[in-house]
Amino acid sequence: MKTSARLYKSVNTIWDSYYRHPFIKGMADGSLKVDKFKFYMIQDYIYLLDYVKIYALGIVKAKDERTMQGFSKMVDNILNGEMDIHRSYMRRLGITRKDIENTEASMENISYTNYMLSVSQLGDLTNLTASLLACMWSYFLIGSKLSKIKGAVENNFYGQWIRGYSSKDYERETKWLIDLIDRLTVNISENKFKELEKIFINTSKYESMFWDMAYNKGM
Protein backbone atom coordinates (compact mmCIF):
# COMPACT_ATOMS: atom_id res chain seq x y z
CA MET A 1 0.00 0.00 0.00
CA LYS A 2 1.32 3.44 -0.90
CA THR A 3 2.24 5.85 1.87
CA SER A 4 -0.51 8.29 0.88
CA ALA A 5 -3.16 5.56 1.19
CA ARG A 6 -1.84 4.54 4.60
CA LEU A 7 -1.83 8.14 5.76
CA TYR A 8 -5.38 8.70 4.54
CA LYS A 9 -6.53 5.59 6.40
CA SER A 10 -5.06 6.98 9.62
CA VAL A 11 -7.22 10.15 9.47
CA ASN A 12 -10.35 8.83 7.80
CA THR A 13 -12.54 9.47 10.87
CA ILE A 14 -11.18 12.99 11.34
CA TRP A 15 -11.69 13.90 7.71
CA ASP A 16 -15.22 12.48 7.63
CA SER A 17 -16.08 14.93 10.43
CA TYR A 18 -15.20 17.87 8.17
CA TYR A 19 -18.20 17.17 5.97
CA ARG A 20 -20.49 17.42 9.00
CA HIS A 21 -18.96 20.64 10.30
CA PRO A 22 -21.50 23.49 10.46
CA PHE A 23 -19.15 25.87 8.62
CA ILE A 24 -18.79 23.50 5.67
CA LYS A 25 -22.45 22.47 5.71
CA GLY A 26 -23.34 26.16 5.77
CA MET A 27 -21.33 26.79 2.62
CA ALA A 28 -23.01 23.82 0.96
CA ASP A 29 -26.57 25.01 1.57
CA GLY A 30 -25.80 28.72 1.56
CA SER A 31 -26.85 29.26 5.19
CA LEU A 32 -23.42 30.20 6.56
CA LYS A 33 -23.48 33.75 7.91
CA VAL A 34 -21.31 36.07 5.87
CA ASP A 35 -19.58 37.52 8.94
CA LYS A 36 -18.24 34.06 9.78
CA PHE A 37 -16.97 33.60 6.25
CA LYS A 38 -15.38 37.05 6.31
CA PHE A 39 -13.52 36.15 9.51
CA TYR A 40 -12.41 32.88 7.92
CA MET A 41 -11.23 34.58 4.73
CA ILE A 42 -8.92 36.94 6.60
CA GLN A 43 -7.52 34.20 8.83
CA ASP A 44 -7.06 31.81 5.92
CA TYR A 45 -5.24 34.49 3.92
CA ILE A 46 -2.86 35.00 6.84
CA TYR A 47 -2.46 31.22 7.08
CA LEU A 48 -1.61 30.87 3.39
CA LEU A 49 1.18 33.42 3.67
CA ASP A 50 2.96 31.01 6.04
CA TYR A 51 1.78 27.87 4.23
CA VAL A 52 3.44 28.99 1.01
CA LYS A 53 6.74 29.55 2.86
CA ILE A 54 6.89 25.80 3.45
CA TYR A 55 6.68 25.17 -0.29
CA ALA A 56 9.50 27.66 -0.73
CA LEU A 57 11.49 25.73 1.87
CA GLY A 58 10.81 22.62 -0.22
CA ILE A 59 12.85 24.17 -3.03
CA VAL A 60 15.78 24.49 -0.61
CA LYS A 61 15.43 20.95 0.74
CA ALA A 62 14.83 19.23 -2.62
CA LYS A 63 17.77 17.26 -3.98
CA ASP A 64 16.83 17.15 -7.66
CA GLU A 65 15.76 19.68 -10.27
CA ARG A 66 12.41 18.00 -10.98
CA THR A 67 11.30 18.35 -7.36
CA MET A 68 12.61 21.90 -7.14
CA GLN A 69 10.56 22.83 -10.21
CA GLY A 70 7.48 21.24 -8.68
CA PHE A 71 7.76 23.21 -5.45
CA SER A 72 8.47 26.39 -7.43
CA LYS A 73 5.27 25.91 -9.44
CA MET A 74 3.30 25.31 -6.25
CA VAL A 75 4.56 28.59 -4.77
CA ASP A 76 3.26 30.38 -7.87
CA ASN A 77 -0.01 28.40 -7.87
CA ILE A 78 -0.77 29.41 -4.30
CA LEU A 79 0.32 33.05 -4.50
CA ASN A 80 -1.30 33.69 -7.89
CA GLY A 81 -4.00 31.02 -8.04
CA GLU A 82 -5.49 29.84 -4.75
CA MET A 83 -5.06 33.24 -3.11
CA ASP A 84 -6.92 34.85 -6.03
CA ILE A 85 -10.05 33.16 -4.67
CA HIS A 86 -9.44 34.99 -1.41
CA ARG A 87 -8.69 38.31 -3.11
CA SER A 88 -11.91 38.06 -5.12
CA TYR A 89 -13.94 37.46 -1.96
CA MET A 90 -12.12 40.27 -0.20
CA ARG A 91 -13.22 42.68 -2.90
CA ARG A 92 -16.79 41.43 -2.55
CA LEU A 93 -16.64 41.71 1.23
CA GLY A 94 -14.89 45.08 1.30
CA ILE A 95 -11.78 43.71 3.01
CA THR A 96 -8.74 45.90 2.37
CA ARG A 97 -5.05 44.99 2.53
CA LYS A 98 -4.80 47.23 5.58
CA ASP A 99 -7.53 45.14 7.26
CA ILE A 100 -5.39 42.04 6.80
CA GLU A 101 -2.22 43.77 7.97
CA ASN A 102 -4.02 45.01 11.09
CA THR A 103 -5.56 41.63 11.94
CA GLU A 104 -3.73 39.32 14.31
CA ALA A 105 -3.63 35.63 13.51
CA SER A 106 -5.79 33.58 15.87
CA MET A 107 -4.09 31.29 18.38
CA GLU A 108 -5.25 28.27 16.37
CA ASN A 109 -3.78 29.80 13.24
CA ILE A 110 -0.45 30.60 14.91
CA SER A 111 -0.21 27.16 16.49
CA TYR A 112 -0.98 25.38 13.21
CA THR A 113 1.49 27.30 11.04
CA ASN A 114 4.22 27.25 13.68
CA TYR A 115 3.85 23.48 13.91
CA MET A 116 4.17 23.02 10.15
CA LEU A 117 7.14 25.36 9.94
CA SER A 118 8.84 23.59 12.84
CA VAL A 119 8.54 20.03 11.51
CA SER A 120 9.50 21.25 8.04
CA GLN A 121 12.61 23.05 9.20
CA LEU A 122 13.77 20.37 11.62
CA GLY A 123 12.88 17.34 9.47
CA ASP A 124 13.69 16.15 5.98
CA LEU A 125 11.73 16.66 2.76
CA THR A 126 9.29 13.86 3.61
CA ASN A 127 8.41 15.56 6.90
CA LEU A 128 7.90 18.83 5.05
CA THR A 129 5.66 17.21 2.43
CA ALA A 130 3.62 15.39 5.07
CA SER A 131 3.03 18.69 6.89
CA LEU A 132 1.56 20.26 3.74
CA LEU A 133 -0.60 17.36 2.67
CA ALA A 134 -3.59 17.49 5.03
CA CYS A 135 -4.53 21.05 4.12
CA MET A 136 -4.40 20.68 0.36
CA TRP A 137 -5.81 17.17 0.13
CA SER A 138 -8.69 17.72 2.56
CA TYR A 139 -9.69 20.98 0.85
CA PHE A 140 -9.87 19.21 -2.49
CA LEU A 141 -12.02 16.44 -1.02
CA ILE A 142 -14.29 18.97 0.69
CA GLY A 143 -14.62 20.99 -2.51
CA SER A 144 -15.37 17.83 -4.50
CA LYS A 145 -17.94 16.65 -1.94
CA LEU A 146 -19.74 19.99 -1.90
CA SER A 147 -19.68 20.25 -5.70
CA LYS A 148 -21.92 17.19 -5.86
CA ILE A 149 -24.58 18.70 -3.62
CA LYS A 150 -27.48 20.08 -5.63
CA GLY A 151 -27.33 23.84 -5.95
CA ALA A 152 -24.04 24.28 -4.07
CA VAL A 153 -21.86 25.15 -7.06
CA GLU A 154 -24.51 27.54 -8.38
CA ASN A 155 -24.75 29.47 -5.11
CA ASN A 156 -24.11 33.14 -5.87
CA PHE A 157 -21.75 33.55 -2.95
CA TYR A 158 -20.22 30.27 -1.76
CA GLY A 159 -20.25 28.63 -5.17
CA GLN A 160 -17.01 30.38 -6.11
CA TRP A 161 -15.19 28.76 -3.14
CA ILE A 162 -16.58 25.34 -4.04
CA ARG A 163 -15.68 25.67 -7.70
CA GLY A 164 -12.14 26.77 -6.83
CA TYR A 165 -11.38 23.85 -4.54
CA SER A 166 -13.01 21.25 -6.81
CA SER A 167 -11.39 22.57 -9.98
CA LYS A 168 -9.16 20.54 -12.30
CA ASP A 169 -6.26 22.87 -11.53
CA TYR A 170 -6.58 22.30 -7.79
CA GLU A 171 -7.01 18.57 -8.35
CA ARG A 172 -3.78 18.53 -10.38
CA GLU A 173 -1.89 20.40 -7.66
CA THR A 174 -3.21 18.04 -4.99
CA LYS A 175 -2.21 15.02 -7.05
CA TRP A 176 1.31 16.41 -7.42
CA LEU A 177 1.68 16.58 -3.64
CA ILE A 178 0.23 13.09 -3.13
CA ASP A 179 2.48 11.64 -5.82
CA LEU A 180 5.47 13.38 -4.27
CA ILE A 181 4.97 11.83 -0.83
CA ASP A 182 4.65 8.42 -2.49
CA ARG A 183 7.76 8.96 -4.60
CA LEU A 184 9.80 10.12 -1.62
CA THR A 185 8.77 7.20 0.56
CA VAL A 186 9.34 4.13 -1.60
CA ASN A 187 10.67 1.41 0.73
CA ILE A 188 10.06 3.62 3.76
CA SER A 189 10.84 2.08 7.16
CA GLU A 190 8.02 1.55 9.63
CA ASN A 191 9.64 3.96 12.10
CA LYS A 192 9.77 6.69 9.46
CA PHE A 193 6.17 6.05 8.46
CA LYS A 194 5.08 6.46 12.09
CA GLU A 195 6.89 9.80 12.17
CA LEU A 196 5.06 11.00 9.06
CA GLU A 197 1.77 9.59 10.30
CA LYS A 198 2.05 11.62 13.50
CA ILE A 199 2.60 14.80 11.48
CA PHE A 200 -0.34 13.98 9.22
CA ILE A 201 -2.69 13.23 12.11
CA ASN A 202 -1.64 16.39 13.95
CA THR A 203 -2.18 18.62 10.91
CA SER A 204 -5.55 16.97 10.29
CA LYS A 205 -6.54 17.83 13.86
CA TYR A 206 -5.35 21.38 13.29
CA GLU A 207 -7.66 21.51 10.25
CA SER A 208 -10.58 20.64 12.53
CA MET A 209 -9.51 23.34 14.96
CA PHE A 210 -9.29 25.85 12.11
CA TRP A 211 -12.86 25.14 11.01
CA ASP A 212 -14.03 25.49 14.63
CA MET A 213 -12.11 28.76 14.94
CA ALA A 214 -13.68 30.08 11.74
CA TYR A 215 -17.23 29.15 12.73
CA ASN A 216 -16.86 30.65 16.22
CA LYS A 217 -14.92 33.66 14.91
CA GLY A 218 -12.01 32.89 17.21
CA MET A 219 -14.08 33.07 20.38
By annotation, the residues acting in catalysis are: 135, 207
Contact 109, 46 (CB under 8 A): yes
Which value, to the nearest 10 degrees, does the dihedral of the CA atoms of residues 199, 201, 202, 204 take? 120
**The one-letter amino acid at 172:** R
Cβ within 8 Å of residue 128, ≥6 positions away: 54, 57, 58, 61, 119, 120
CB atoms within 10 A of CB 80: 10
HSE, side-chain direction, 13 A CA sphere, residue 181 = 29
Contact 22, 213 (CB under 8 A): no
Angle at 113 between CA 131 and CA 184, to 5 degrees: 15
